[in-house]
Amino acid sequence: MLLIPGFELRKGHIAVPKPVHDKKEDPLMYLDAFDTIKRFVDIGARRVHLIDTDGAHEGQPVNVDIVQQLRKNHPNLEIEVTGGIKSIAHAELWLDVGASFVVLTWKMMRQRDSVIDLCGEYPGAVIVSIEAREGLVNGSNGAVAAEVLIPQYEEDGAAGVFYSEMHAPGDRRDPLPYAAALAKNTSLPVVCNGGVHAFTTADLLRKKPLSALAGVVIGRALLTGGLDYAELLTVVKQS
pLDDT attached to residue 141: 79
The amino acid occupying position 118 is L
pLDDT at 83: 96
Distances (CA, A) of 151 to 24, 171, 183: 49, 30, 13
| pLDDT given for residue 124 in this prediction | 98
Per-residue pLDDT of the chain (239 residues; tens, 9 = 90+): 999 999 999 999 999 998 876 777 889 999 999 999 999 999 999 999 999 999 999 999 999 999 999 999 999 999 999 999 999 999 999 999 999 999 999 889 999 999 999 999 999 999 999 999 999 998 777 899 999 999 999 999 999 999 999 876 667 779 999 999 999 999 999 999 999 988 888 888 989 999 999 999 999 999 988 899 999 999 887 65
Sign of CA dihedral 65, 32, 129, 182: positive
Ramachandran quadrant class, 146 (left: phi over 0; alpha: psi -120 to 50; beta: rest): alpha
Which pLDDT score, from 0 to 100, does residue 75 have? 98
What's the CA gap between 192 and 236, in Å, rounded? 15
Structure confidence at residue 212 (pLDDT): 96
Residues 53 and 85 sit within 8 Å (Cβ to Cβ): no
DSSP SS3 for 124: coil
Query: Structural domains in the chain?
Result: 2-236 (3.20.20.70)
Q: Which residues contact 131 (CB under 8 A, 6 or more apart)?
A: 105, 106, 137, 164, 166
CB count, 10 Å around CB of 143?
12
| pLDDT at position 234 | 92
Selection from 196, 183, 80 nearest residue 135 by Cα: 183
Which residues, in sequence order, are CB contacts of 15 under 8 Å at separation 6+? 8, 9, 28, 29, 30, 31, 53
- AA identity, residue 75: P
**Residue 140 to residues 107, 110, 134, 221: CA-CA distances in angstroms?**
11, 12, 18, 35
Degrees, nearest 5: CA angle 225-172-200: 50
Q: Counting Cβ atoms within 10 Å, is residue 154 exposed (0-12), middle (13-18) or buried (19+)?
A: middle
